[in-house]
């Protein structure tokens, strides 16, 4: 077997990192952040505890990486052409894809909502989350300004809170929540 190239090592390292993050996400969502140990994550990921520390400095670092990846994935759909201008079509696309992500990535949303309810944990990540969310809110505020909305900043914050509330209700009551109907109504009223 031929020796691996540095590119192959990089790919293997990224795959392992993603495996650890996926495993941690499952455990954090099922058991809670505080009730999940690095040892449990390592055991479920079938790696040594020591190897975990080659990828993450600890649970906080791991959780930060999970959040960054999850929110970056969501916000990549916002202003997809990256021109700094949100169009009605792009906003509609974002809403549609966000609702799809709520369904596809329930563990991520379950963890996100659970941590919001734990002030001691949420406080650690609030500032980095604000850095991730701020550009999204600014684009939305600019969108509402162009549409002549009286208070575009508050409108943008309200839409963000609305999406959080919809996600929360759907994640915890998926069989009782009419996601498609709600999505259509959000697009109709806020886009």
| Burial (0-12, 13-18, 19+ Cβ within 10 Å), 182 | middle
Average pLDDT value for the chain: 89
What's the pLDDT tens digit per position in 103-115?
999 988 888 888 8
The pLDDT value recorded for residue 135 is 86
153 domain residue, yes or no: yes
Note whether 44 and 25 are within 8 A (CB): no
What's the pLDDT tens digit per position in 8-54?
888 888 999 999 999 999 999 889 888 999 999 999 999 999 999 99
67 domain residue, yes or no: yes
Q: What angle do CA 13, 121, 158 make, to 5 degrees?
A: 100
Per-residue pLDDT for 98 more than 70? yes
What's the pLDDT tens digit per position in 72-95?
888 888 888 889 899 999 999 999
The pLDDT value recorded for residue 1 is 58
Per-residue pLDDT for 3 more than 70? no
Note whether 75 and 134 are within 8 A (CB): no
Six-digit token string for 172: 């915890």
Determine the structural domain holding residue 101 and report its residue range: 6-190
Torsion, Cα of 77, 81, 85, 87 (10° steps): -70
39 domain residue, yes or no: yes
Q: 179 or 132, which is more confident?
A: 179
Per-residue pLDDT for 178 more than 70? yes
* DSSP label at residue 76: T
Number of domains in the chain: 1
As a whole number of angstroms, the distance between CA 165 and CA 102 comes to 11
Note whether 107 and 29 are within 8 A (CB): yes
As a whole number of angstroms, the distance between CA 148 and CA 143 comes to 9
Distance in Å from the first CA to the final CA of the chain? 56
29 domain residue, yes or no: yes
C-alpha distances out from residue 90 to 63, 95, 165, Å? 29, 9, 22
22 domain residue, yes or no: yes
96 domain residue, yes or no: yes
1 domain residue, yes or no: no
pLDDT-based confidence at residue 2 (cuts at 50, 70, 90): low
> What's the CATH number where 128 sits?
1.10.357.10
Per-residue pLDDT for 102 more than 80? yes
């Amino acid at each position: 077997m031929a020796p691996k190239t540095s590119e192959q090592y990089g790919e293997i390292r990224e795959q392992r990192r993603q495996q650890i993050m996926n495993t941690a996400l499952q455990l954090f969502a099922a058991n809670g952040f505080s009730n999940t140990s690095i040892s449990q994550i390592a055991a479920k990921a079938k790696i040594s505890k020591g190897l975990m520390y080659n990828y993450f400095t600890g649970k906080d670092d791991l959780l930060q990486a999970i959040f960054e990846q999850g929110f970056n994935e969501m916000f990549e759909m916002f202003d997809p052409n990256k021109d700094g201008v949100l169009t009605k079509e792009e906003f509609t696309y974002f809403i549609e894809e966000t609702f799809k992500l709520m369904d596809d990535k329930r563990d991520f949303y379950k963890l996100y909502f659970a941590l919001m309810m734990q002030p001691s944990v949420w406080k650690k990540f609030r500032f980095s989350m604000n850095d991730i969310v701020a550009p999204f809110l600014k684009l939305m505020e600019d969108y509402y300004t162009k549409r002549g909305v009286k208070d575009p900043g508050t409108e943008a914050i309200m839409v963000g809170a609305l999406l959080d509330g919809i996600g929360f209700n759907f994640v915890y009551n998926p069989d009782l929540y009419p996601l498609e109907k709600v999505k259509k109504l959000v697009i109709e009223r806020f886009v």
